[in-house]
Amino acid sequence: MWCASQGWPVHPLAPGRKTPAANCAACREHTHLPQACPCATAGKWCHGFHAATTDNDRLRAWWGEHPSMGVGVSCGPAGLVVLDVDAHSAEVPDRDRLLPGITIHQDVNLAGLASGFDTLALLAAYRGQPDPAQDETTLRVRTPSGGLHIWYRATAPGVRYRSSTGSSPKVALAWQVDVRAVGGYIVAPATRTPAGAYEPVGPARLPAPLPGWLAAELARTGHVVDDSPARPATAQVPRPAARPDSTGAQRLLEPLLAAVQACAAVPQGASFTEKLNRAAYTAGGLVAAGHLTDTEARELLTVAADAARPHQSHRSLATITSALSAGLHRPLHLKGRP
């Protein structure tokens, strides 16, 4: 209720987890666009952040019946840009992948660099700016895994930012620094999991405006959403004069998405990543040809991926982003259409 009072639409998370509460049986069995789903108007929470709301009556009904559920905030409608700084144990990539688009000279000593805290501090140092992880003017939330969520408000009129993962080879701010914005959600402070609670740190309890230098970095790294139909920001693809109907494109994608969702029944050895990659590559070709918008394609792919592997949404997003970008260079025209 506190989040909703700030104008941030919220949705339930599965009890004790940081992933959305499960869809109803009908939504699990049939892949479809969240916008076309009747569950939202029926007061259900299907499709995660797409069901997020600030309606007090609905929130009372959801959490009144299931008080152990966590709280997710849908970042796009809330106008939020959240930097999700990870501290996972992982092999450090080559220096040319630490800060996409920035050449780190060989003379720069990277000894001890091990997490998103280090790459974010390095990016700030390159720009002569204070480290956002130390920004006490804005809401910061410590995660149970030792990471940090740094919340900001997007204030530039008409500018929206897309979500990304720090491991993406196409759209990323820094290694182990994810961006939660349009097309993503963030776990609200005070939510608990078996690993611990999401706890605010420092004095601030509300997000500050997104600093200008970070807004410039997000624009530089391809995070600005282009809402023009069939004109993805990540590829130089001519836009058709008119966008065809998307029904045929969804029919073409349906068996590929169904194959992704079917991996839910096989925890391992189902070639999930390969199947998701194939579906996303095909979707990229359909976007390039104007049969789907980038947003529609991402939503269909995300719904299918989350249904099969709800615990690895970050990895799935990286696969989707990479394969979509590759497919954008190979427009896929439907039979009988220009």
Q: Are strands 148-153 and 208-209 parallel, antiparallel or unpaired?
A: parallel
Q: Would you state the pLDDT for residue 225? A: 87
Q: What is the pLDDT of residues 233-287, one digit of tens each?
A: 333 333 333 444 556 777 788 888 888 888 877 777 778 888 888 988 998 888 8
Q: What is the pLDDT of residues 82-115, one digit of tens each?
A: 999 998 878 888 888 899 998 888 888 888 899 9
Q: Would you state the pLDDT for residue 325? A: 82
What whole-number distance in Å separates Cα of residue 50 and Cα of residue 29? Answer: 18
Per-residue HEC secondary structure of 314-336 comes to HHHHHHHHHHHHHHCCCCCCCCC
**Phi-psi region at 10: left, alpha or beta (left = phi > 0; alpha = psi -120 to 50):** beta
Amino acid identity, position 221: T
**CB-neighbour burial class of residue 67 (10 A; exposed 0-12, middle 13-18, buried 19+):** exposed
Q: Would you state the pLDDT for residue 336? A: 47
Q: Would you state the pLDDT for residue 254? A: 85
Report the percent of the chain where pLDDT is more than 70: 92
Confidence label for 232 from pLDDT (cuts 50, 70 and 90): very low
Using the 8-state DSSP alphabet, how is residue 168 labeled? Answer: -
Residues contacting 294, CB < 8 A, separation 6+: 226, 232, 233, 287, 324
What per-residue string of b and e applies to 69-79 under the rule 16 or more CB within 10 Å gives b?
bbbbbbbbbbb
Q: What is the largest CA-CA distance in the chain?
A: 61
Q: What is the pLDDT of residues 156-169, one digit of tens each?
A: 988 999 999 888 87
| Average pLDDT of span 35-64 | 92
Is 45:21 a contact under the CB 8 Å cutoff? Answer: yes
| Average pLDDT of span 169-178 | 90
| Average pLDDT of span 305-321 | 78
Amino acid identity, position 132: P
Structure-token pair, residue 267: 């925890």
| Average pLDDT of span 305-330 | 80
**CB-neighbour burial class of residue 234 (10 A; exposed 0-12, middle 13-18, buried 19+):** middle
| Mean pLDDT lowest among 136-145, 223-232, 251-260 | 223-232
Identify the H or E element spanning 84: strand 80-85
| Average pLDDT of span 182-209 | 94
Confidence label for 230 from pLDDT (cuts 50, 70 and 90): very low
Q: Would you state the pLDDT for residue 331? A: 86
Q: Would you state the pLDDT for residue 228? A: 54
Return the domain boundaries, the chain. Answer: 2-73, 79-220, 247-327
Q: Would you state the pLDDT for residue 247? A: 66
What whole-number distance in Å separates Cα of residue 280 and Cα of residue 227? Answer: 19
**Mean per-residue pLDDT over the chain, rounded:** 86
Structure-token pair, residue 119: 């790459």
Report the percent of the chain where pLDDT is more than 90: 48
Q: Would you state the pLDDT for residue 118? A: 95
Quote the pTM value: 0.72
- Domain 79-220 in this protein, CATH class: alpha beta
| Mean pLDDT lowest among 83-97, 131-145, 272-286, 298-312 | 298-312
Q: Would you state the pLDDT for residue 258? A: 84
**With the CA atoms of 282, 286, 289 and 290 taken in that order, what torsion angle do they form, in degrees rounded to the nearest 10?**
-160
**With the CA atoms of 64, 69, 74 and 79 taken in that order, what torsion angle do they form, in degrees rounded to the nearest 10?**
70
